[in-house]
C-alpha cells in the first residue's frame, strides 16, 4: 500500500511542478509577488502600515529570492518523495540516493527545457542547479532518517 501512495504522491508532485512551469511569465511573477507580500505581512513588523509604493518596491526586491527558494523547496519535496518511493520498493538508501538524485536532476533539466516553450519564460542552467540543490537536501534528509531508522532497528535486535 505504501508503494502505491508514495508513487502516486511523487507523480502528483511532478505534475504540480510541471503545472507551475507551464504558467506564463506574467502569471508566474504575480504568484511570486503574492507570496512575497504574504511573507512580508507575516515577517516584517509594520509592513501593512507602509505606503503602497514602499510595499511594492520592497516586494519587488524580494521576488527573485522568493522564486529561487520556491524552486529549491519544490525540488526538496520531490527529493523526499522520490526517496520514500524508492525505499518502499528497494530499501537501499545509499543506492537510492544516487539513482533518485539522477532521476530528479533529469526532471529538473527537462522542466527547464519545457519552460523554453512557455510564453515569457526561459530555461536556465542556474535554475537546474538550484533545483538540484533542493533535491539533494530532500534526498539527504530522508537518507539520514532511513539510516537512523536502520541503526535503531539493528540496535534493538542486538
Note whether residue 38 is domain-resident. Answer: yes
Note whether residue 82 is domain-resident. Answer: yes
Note whether residue 83 is domain-resident. Answer: yes
Note whether residue 51 is domain-resident. Answer: yes
SS3 content of the chain, % helix, strand, coil (to 5): 85, 0, 15
Note whether residue 158 is domain-resident. Answer: no
Instruction: Kindly give, in sequence order, each residue whose CB lies less than 8 Å from that of residue 115, ignoring residues fewer than 6 positions away.
Output: 21, 121, 122, 123
135 close to 105: Cβ distance less than 8 angstroms: yes
Tally of structural domains, the chain = 1
pTM beyond 0.75: the answer is yes
**59 to 21, 62, 64, 75: CA distances (angstroms):** 22, 5, 10, 24
Q: Flag whether pLDDT at 155 surpasses 80.
A: no
Note whether residue 109 is domain-resident. Answer: yes
Note whether residue 66 is domain-resident. Answer: yes
Domain range for 142: 2-153
Note whether residue 129 is domain-resident. Answer: yes
Give the chain's mean pLDDT.
92
Cα atoms in the 13 Å half-sphere on the side-chain side of 155: 6
Q: Flag whether pLDDT at 73 surpasses 80.
A: yes
Amino acid at each position: 500500500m505504501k508503494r502505491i501512495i508514495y508513487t502516486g504522491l511523487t507523480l502528483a508532485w511532478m505534475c504540480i511542478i510541471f503545472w507551475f512551469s507551464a504558467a506564463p511569465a506574467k502569471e508566474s511573477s504575480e504568484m511570486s509577488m503574492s507570496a512575497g507580500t504574504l511573507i512580508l505581512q507575516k515577517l516584517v513588523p509594520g509592513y501593512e502600515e507602509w505606503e503602497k509604493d514602499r510595499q511594492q518596491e520592497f516586494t519587488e526586491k524580494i521576488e527573485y529570492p522568493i522564486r529561487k527558494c520556491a524552486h529549491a523547496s519544490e525540488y526538496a519535496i520531490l527529493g523526499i518523495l522520490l526517496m520514500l518511493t524508492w525505499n518502499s520498493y528497494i530499501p537501499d538508501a545509499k543506492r537510492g540516493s544516487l539513482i533518485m538524485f539522477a532521476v530528479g536532476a533529469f526532471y529538473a533539466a527537462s522542466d527547464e527545457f519545457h519552460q523554453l516553450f512557455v510564453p515569457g519564460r526561459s530555461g536556465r542552467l542556474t535554475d537546474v542547479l538550484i533545483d538540484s540543490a533542493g533535491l539533494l537536501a530532500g534526498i539527504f534528509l530522508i537518507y539520514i532518517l532511513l539510516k537512523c531508522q536502520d541503526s535503531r532497528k539493528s540496535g534493538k535486535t542486538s
